[in-house]
């Protein structure tokens, strides 16, 4: 939504910003509590799952720049954008750029799989919402490996995401982190 006559444009609505910074908090909380704080770990994981479910719905019915149709473009455009970055000709996007968008899709998929594998692991112990599902019969060692692998993959994606945000901020000389706090960008 543009401010009439203003120099800035409202890009990220309040729900997206609350979603994002809550996701950052609960992702790291669950990541760093898995060893000794299993109750905190699992509740933080459930909250991550709820946040992702919210984001999937908001991607369909949310505000303009939050909608998947606004930023999901497919790998060709993402590769094209990376080439533009490498040749110093990257176009500026008001919403997510195509490479950032591809990373967001990967993050959402990886986070979802991490949450589901965690709940499945709980099921092998007769606990959680999937306790009566077929996951209960799976090997807990296998599920533990899968869950850990996915969590570490997500962490790698997060590192890539933060590097992309910093690079995007440098290239276009705009503070993308502040934009995710205030919701506003320069026109």
For ligand HEM, the binding residues in 82-101 under the rule CB under 6 A are 96, 100
Kindly tell me which residue out of 10, 13, 15, 20 binds ligand HEM, with binding defined by CB under 6 A.
Answer: 20
Kindly tell me which residue out of 30, 143, 176, 183 binds ligand HEM, with binding defined by CB under 6 A.
Answer: 176
Q: Could you say whether residue 18 binds ligand HEM (CB under 6 A)? A: no
Q: Could you say whether residue 31 binds ligand HEM (CB under 6 A)? A: no
Nearer to ligand HEM, 3 or 92 (CB): 92
Kindly tell me which residue out of 29, 85, 153, 165 binds ligand HEM, with binding defined by CB under 6 A.
Answer: 165
Three-state SS for the chain is CECCCCCEEECCCHHHHHHHHHHHHHHHHHHHHCCCCHHHHHHHHHHHHHHHHHHHHHHHHCCHHHCHHHHCCCHHHHHHHHHHHHCCCCCCCCCCCHHHHHHHHHHHHHHHHHHHHHHHHHHCCCCCCCCCCHHHHCCHHHHHHHHHHHHHHHHHHHHHHHHHHHHHHHHCCCCHHHHHHHCEEEC
Q: Which stretch binds ligand HEM (CB under 6 A): 37-45, 80-88, 125-133, 160-168?
A: 160-168
Binding site for ligand HEM (CB under 6 A): 16, 19-20, 23-24, 27, 55, 66, 96, 100, 104, 107-108, 111, 158, 161-162, 165, 176-177, 179-180
């Amino acid at each position: 939504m543009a401010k009439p006559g203003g120099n800035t444009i409202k890009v990220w609505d309040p729900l997206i910003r609350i979603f994002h910074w809550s996701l950052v908090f609960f992702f790291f909380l669950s990541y760093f509590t898995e060893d000794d704080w299993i109750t905190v770990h699992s509740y933080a994981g459930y909250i991550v799952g709820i946040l992702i479910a919210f984001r999937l719905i908001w991607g369909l019915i949310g505000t303009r720049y939050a909608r998947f149709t606004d930023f999901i473009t497919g790998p060709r455009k993402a590769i094209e954008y990376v080439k533009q970055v490498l040749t110093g000709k990257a176009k500026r996007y008001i919403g997510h750029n195509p490479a950032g968008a591809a990373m967001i899709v990967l993050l959402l998929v990886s986070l979802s799989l991490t949450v589901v594998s965690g709940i499945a692991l709980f099921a092998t112990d007769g606990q959680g919402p999937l306790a009566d599902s077929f996951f209960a019969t799976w090997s807990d060692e296998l599920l533990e490996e899968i869950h850990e692998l996915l969590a570490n993959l997500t962490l790698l994606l997060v590192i890539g995401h933060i590097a992309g945000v910093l690079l995007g901020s440098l290239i276009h000389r705009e503070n993308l982190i502040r934009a995710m706090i205030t919701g506003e960008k320069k026109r």
